[in-house]
Amino acid sequence: MSRTTFFLVLALSLLVKSNAGFCAGHAWPEMAEFTAKVEIETSADRIFFEFPLIDVHGETRYGFICAGGSEKYLAKLGAPWDVNYVGPFACRLVEGKTDPVKSEDSLLSEDESPYWYSRGRLDNFRELTGSCARYPEYGALRHFRLRGFELTLSFGGVEVDKAGNPTYFTLTVSLRRDATITSPQAEQTGYLTPYKVGSSCDKVLKGNQRRMCRDFKNLGGSWTECDKIGR
């Protein structure tokens, strides 16, 4: 039995202010600040939780969803909508009008790649231990800056077995308003994934990957660098 539990704290501003965050003339909703803590056992056959992110008026603007567990469970979870769920654990952020269970999209992605390429996914629970846990933005602390707020995923309280494999951790999710953040999707961090040059996290790699987009106009939906199609 998984001991996945929730502890939610919502902070709503009593004053309604206009959001100064714009992208291409778009004013993003002013979000309610938010904190949630979830306890997760890595051996759980089923890991699934979701909660809405609301604005200062109480309207749901985004859905945050995380899933993990056995391959059998993940396959069954996405089968009704032909959606791929990948393990061992991944979180997504979608607009409130989108049913997150039925979508492979995620605003945590830095381009149009599917959510399993985003920093919202753990490719391996060992990312939460040793030098990998300390690796900026790909380890135990990950920041996602977009749409007038910063969403932070903090993995802590990691317990490991005799082989050093994580057996338990807590995930703290928090949202902090910042009207200066205007990106429609997660900003690039200035750090490259440590897996670009193998599996070592000992050397911190700085830089940004080129954003990838689908070019339906010229390439029939094939992937290409976003700046080559004027994005």
- Examine residue 213 and state whether it is found in any structural domain, yes or no: no
- Examine residue 92 and state whether it is found in any structural domain, yes or no: yes
Q: Is the pLDDT of residue 4 over 60?
A: no
What is the model's pLDDT at position 224?
Answer: 60
- Examine residue 207 and state whether it is found in any structural domain, yes or no: no
- Examine residue 205 and state whether it is found in any structural domain, yes or no: no
Q: What domain count does the chain have? A: 1
- Examine residue 196 and state whether it is found in any structural domain, yes or no: no
Range of the domain at 26: 6-189
Angle at 48 between CA 46 and CA 54, to 5 degrees: 175
On whether the pTM is more than 0.75, the answer is: yes
CB atoms within 10 A of CB 209: 14
pLDDT band at 175; cut points 50, 70, 90:
very high
**Distance (Å, whole) CA 165 – CA 24:** 45
